[in-house]
Amino acid sequence: MRRVRANRKAARGAAKPGPVGAGADGARADDLIYDWNHLDVVAPLTTKPIRLNDETLRDGIQSPSVTDPPLALKLEIVDLMESLHVWSADIGLPGAGPRAFHDVLALAKHLAKKKHRLKPNCAARTVAADIGPVADVQQKAGIPVAVYTFIGSSPIRQYAEAWDVDYLLKTSAAAIDFAVKEGLEVCYVTEDTTRSHPATLDRLFRNAIDHGASALCLCDTVGWATPDGVRRLIHWTRDIVRGKGADVRIEWHGHNDRGLAVTNAIHAIEFGADVVHGCALGIGERVGNTAMDQLLMNLRLLGAVDWDLRNLVRYVETASRACHFPIPRNYPLSGEDAFRTATGVHAAAIVKAARKGDRWLMDRVYSGVPAGLFGKRQVIEIGPMSGLSNVSYWLDQRGLSASETEARAVLAVAKQHDRVLTEPEVLAALARAKLPAAPAVRARNGAR
């Protein structure tokens, strides 16, 4: 990340690692973890409030591999968003049909009844037929509902659709005028912004501001951008807004086609975006959107937020269950293997920390993400690459006792397998180890 940095020569030899984690742990982290991530950094990620827009219930469920959740689970998901300090949420596209309108209205009424801080918004094409239902939801729910009205802006999209810039300007102006007349806050969304020509964007953005848009959303619709592209686009857009003398937010909406979505979102915050978007589990079209959960985790570890994120894993698990989209085993933070090891060297270090009674150390000695900070814990399994520490710790955690001979017998069974042992297999191996020696064995031993 390209935050303002101190002079490297002056910092050399005097640089001190920055905080890892948060709170009282910071001083201890300085002693035990040398943090190259913070070296020479003299400014925070941003001086503005961190504002996140959750797209799980609209852009996320456009994935061809997810199920549109039932309303009860949508309500649970927005409650979890609220608990995670998410600033706003796209609650759907009410113009898509009767079921979509019903769910969006129910979600808006739920937010009003619960007095949630979460600000609802809805997606709409730049047509009155999509924007009208958003105005109906706002009126019936009795709370403000912003409209995010979108249109493709890149040359390749214009060519495919047989559009020209005059058509884009006329269509956008009519849509924004209609929304403003209906009393809606408008965010103007240019699809495929990261592949759009600046001359086109200049005209579209000025047109949107002139007609009453209060926010501009820059979309990396096909995951094209790199961090350098994010920086250039946001700085360029900021100059347009500043030149207009307008109080207009800049929002960033990224996709993950190059695997850069989370990185780009963090850079977008650093480079001046007022709001960044994401989805639980990174669900969405093709390879998906920015993973909101990974973004929140990293913002917490960077010290950019100090929010209580113990519901973060529950948020991911609920979205997974609601959308019928499984969490990969190796998925950061929420995956089954995120804090699980069966390797002897790793387990030994964790066990030594546990024997010191030091949970802080135990959570960090072999983990870059402190499990306890997010409501999880370290898990040690027994497999072919394990050592005796794995067995001892595994048994201790379950209140089981075993002699060293019996523990070694369990480990010997594990060494014969090509995978981690299941709990029944470990218990069966322990039971066999505890059996008295067979008569023939005892006789042979006596004969010696």
How high is the mean pLDDT in each 10-residue block of the chain (448 residues)?
A: 39 35 56 84 88 98 96 98 98 96 98 98 97 98 98 97 97 98 98 98 98 98 97 98 96 98 98 98 97 98 95 98 97 96 92 90 93 93 95 93 94 96 95 72 40
Query: pLDDT value at position 369?
Result: 95
Residue 442 lies in a domain: no
Answer whether 346's CB lies under 8 Å from 385's CB: no
Pair (376, 231) in one structural domain: no
Asked which of 294, 323, 352 is the last residue of a domain, the reply is 323
Pair (303, 372) in one structural domain: no
Residue 212 lies in a domain: yes
Pair (350, 317) in one structural domain: no
Residue 44 lies in a domain: no
Pair (142, 13) in one structural domain: no
Longest dimension (CA), the chain: 101
Q: Domain range for residue 34?
A: 8-38
Pair (267, 319) in one structural domain: yes
Pair (215, 177) in one structural domain: yes
Pair (286, 393) in one structural domain: no
Pair (230, 175) in one structural domain: yes
Pair (319, 355) in one structural domain: no
Pair (317, 375) in one structural domain: no
CATH code for the domain of 219: 3.20.20.70
Cβ neighbors of 233 (< 8 A, separation 6 or more) are 193, 194, 218, 225
Query: pLDDT value at position 258?
Result: 97
Residue 332 lies in a domain: no
Residue 254 lies in a domain: yes
Pair (145, 183) in one structural domain: yes
Cβ neighbors of 206 (< 8 A, separation 6 or more) are 240, 244
d(CA 386, CA 90): 46
Asked which of 323, 351, 368 is the last residue of a domain, the reply is 323
Query: pLDDT value at position 27?
Result: 58
Query: pLDDT value at position 26?
Result: 59
Cβ neighbors of 128 (< 8 A, separation 6 or more) are 174, 175, 178
The dihedral over CA atoms of 89, 94, 100, 106, expressed in degrees to the nearest 10, equals 60
Residue 31 lies in a domain: yes
Query: pLDDT value at position 448?
Result: 37
Asked which of 257, 289, 323 is the last residue of a domain, the reply is 323
Residue 164 lies in a domain: yes
Pair (94, 202) in one structural domain: yes
Q: Which residue has the tokens 């103007």?
A: 188
* Count of structural domains, the chain: 3
Single pTM value for the model: 0.89
d(CA 187, CA 208): 9
Residue 301 lies in a domain: yes
